[in-house]
Amino acid sequence: MQDDNRRFVERDRSWHPPAYAPGYKTTVARSPRQALVSMQKPSVSELSGPDFQKLRMGPHDNDLLLNFREDPALTGAAGLPVGERIIMFGRVVDQFDKPVPHTLVEMWQANAGGRYRHKNDNYLASLDPNFGGVGRCLTDEHGWYNFRTIKPGPYPWPNDTNSWRPAHIHISVMGPAISTRLITQMYFEGDPLIPICPIVQTINDKDAVETMIGRLDLPRSNPMDCLAYRFDLVVRGELQTYFENQ
């Protein structure tokens, strides 16, 4: 039996950037003004979570090439999103490298032009009628998840006169309990915008940045179809995947 003292590992706050980071403008208004609340002993709500095994999933929930087609009757390229086709996959594990099975993984992203399907996104890139930009899946018994999608484009944002967000995919994973819910972003290996992004620059630890980069995995790619990027998620402990200051 696992030692109860190992069930809950306190997050290393030095791993994350300060809540107040003026170089990332929106933290100025939304950073906390009071000290964090100390949790002396985790309750049942922190050590347990929802059971997703009976969640009804749609046939294309994890396939963003097919789950938002303007006309499902269309065949071939006419009914598919525009952009570079990719596979995004990986494992969800805890701090002891044990798989987290049957947990909900959700993702959302911009389209190939860098625009989100959201009423507040007014970037001049066009919306793709065949791309919704959201997906979900459950991890299998070994903690694996898998999505098929389009590589998102970078986009400008009003942090300063010429700030650009690197291509990225947002990810939410519940983990084994409510307290382990992780919201992060996967960047793409080799993107030159990563080190100059004002949000990424709030992270002082280069190793923390590396936990958010998806790695090209040619053996898992589909020849003549799409590349694959592996992105593993650690939901708790010293090796946890970094999650950005939201």
Residue 3, pLDDT > 50, answer no
Q: Supply φ then ψ for residue 22, to 5 degrees.
A: -55, -25
Instruction: Give percent of the chain with pLDDT exceeding 90.
Output: 59
Residue 231, pLDDT > 50, answer yes
Superfamily for the 60-234 domain? Aromatic compound dioxygenase (2.60.130.10)
- pLDDT given for residue 33 in this prediction: 84
Residue 212, pLDDT > 80, answer yes
Q: Pick the catalytic residue: 16, 69, 168, 236?
A: 168
> Is the separation of the CB atoms in 182 and 243 below 8 Å?
yes
Q: For 85, how many CA atoms within 13 A lie in the half-sphere containing its CB?
A: 13
Q: Pick the catalytic residue: 155, 187, 229, 242?
A: 155
Q: Pick the catalytic residue: 16, 115, 116, 136?
A: 116
- pLDDT given for residue 184 in this prediction: 93
Amino acid symbol at 177: A
Most confident of 146-150, 173-177, 180-184, 241-245: 146-150
On average, the pLDDT of the chain sits at: 87
Nearest to 106 by CA among 153, 64, 49, 142: 64
Three-state secondary structure readout of 18-35: CCCCCCCCHHHHHCCCCC
Residue 140, pLDDT > 50, answer yes
* 5 pLDDT tier (thresholds 50, 70, 90): very low
The reply to whether 24 belongs to the active site is no
The reply to whether 170 belongs to the active site is yes
* 178 pLDDT tier (thresholds 50, 70, 90): confident
Domain ranges for the chain, please list them.
60-234
- pLDDT given for residue 16 in this prediction: 75
Q: Pick the catalytic residue: 69, 91, 170, 236?
A: 170
